[in-house]
């Protein structure tokens, strides 16, 4: 499954653009769960690796090319798919949001970025997926509260968010979103959006500075003040 970070332009020239995290879903174009939201995916073809199948399905169903995939896990509970005992291997990827398309011969009717809201307060994590009209999935404090996703994809979304959060906090996945040169503010906004952890600019700099290489360049177009540019060390 693909998480995307979207930049929302600020009307105030002195304010930074805000970041929103989104999740890539498809509308199913065939049974079972015709018309329901689900994660993109499909069946392994002869001669394919699991990674190749995942990349092909993302391209066919959503037009997403060559994402950096990290394995999430295997889902094999009997009854998870009404067509029979089907085993799924799930991956996660993180990217900036891109334009989506769906191939005519795909079993997906359409692809969509839906908004993901998350919070972490006193060790209690909440997750909500919405499409602008209704809540698709909601999880809070250890329990799935509502779920309109097909199959067992609600469980996958829950597990994937915690995997994403761990990869960003502990394994530097946040750098997958960055260009070669970036400001510390560029890094902090998506970090906080994904993890739900709010830090002061000084606290975030202290946390990340050992992973950064300072350059001689500055962001002259910064909204609030000229900011030094860094690259990943």
Q: Which domains does the chain have, with CATH numbers?
A: 2-170 (3.90.79.10), 178-232 (1.10.10.10)
- pLDDT attached to residue 67: 86
Question: pTM value?
Answer: 0.89
| Measured torsion, CA atoms of residues 101, 106, 108, 110, in degrees rounded to the nearest 10 | 20
| CA–CA distance, 47 with 143 (Å, rounded to integer) | 39
Q: Residue 182 has what DSSP assignment? A: B
Reported as a pLDDT band with limits 50, 70 and 90, residue 215 is very high
3-class SS at 24? strand
pLDDT tens-place string over residues 50-107: 999 999 999 999 999 988 999 999 999 999 999 999 999 999 999 999 889 999 888 8
Reported as a pLDDT band with limits 50, 70 and 90, residue 26 is very high
Q: Is the pLDDT of residue 153 over 70?
A: yes
- pLDDT attached to residue 219: 84
Asked if residues 41 and 24 have their Cβ atoms less than 8 Å apart, the reply is no
- pLDDT attached to residue 133: 86
């Amino acid at each position: 499954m693909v998480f995307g970070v979207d930049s929302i332009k600020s009307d105030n020239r002195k304010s930074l653009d805000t970041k929103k995290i989104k999740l890539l879903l498809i509308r199913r174009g065939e049974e079972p769960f015709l018309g329901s939201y689900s994660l993109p995916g499909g069946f392994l073809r002869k001669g394919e690796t699991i990674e190749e199948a995942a990349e092909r399905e993302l391209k066919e169903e959503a037009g997403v090319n060559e994402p950096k995939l990290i394995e999430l896990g295997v889902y094999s509970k009997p009854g998870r798919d009404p067509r029979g005992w089907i085993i799924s291997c799930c991956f996660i990827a993180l990217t900036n949001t891109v334009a989506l398309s769906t191939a005519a011969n795909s079993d997906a009717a359409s692809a969509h970025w839906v908004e993901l809201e998350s919070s972490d307060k006193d060790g209690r994590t909440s997750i909500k997926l919405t499409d602008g009209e209704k809540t698709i999935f909601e999880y809070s404090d250890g329990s799935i509260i509502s779920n309109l996703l097909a199959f067992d994809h609600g469980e996958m979304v829950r597990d994937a968010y915690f995997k994403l959060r761990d990869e960003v906090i502990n394994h530097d996945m946040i750098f997958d979103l960055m260009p070669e040169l970036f400001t510390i503010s560029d890094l902090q906004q998506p970090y906080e959006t994904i993890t739900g952890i709010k830090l002061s600019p000084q606290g975030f700099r202290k946390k990340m500075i050992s992973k950064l290489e300072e350059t001689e360049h500055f962001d002259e177009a910064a909204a609030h003040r000229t900011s030094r540019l860094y690259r990943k060390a």
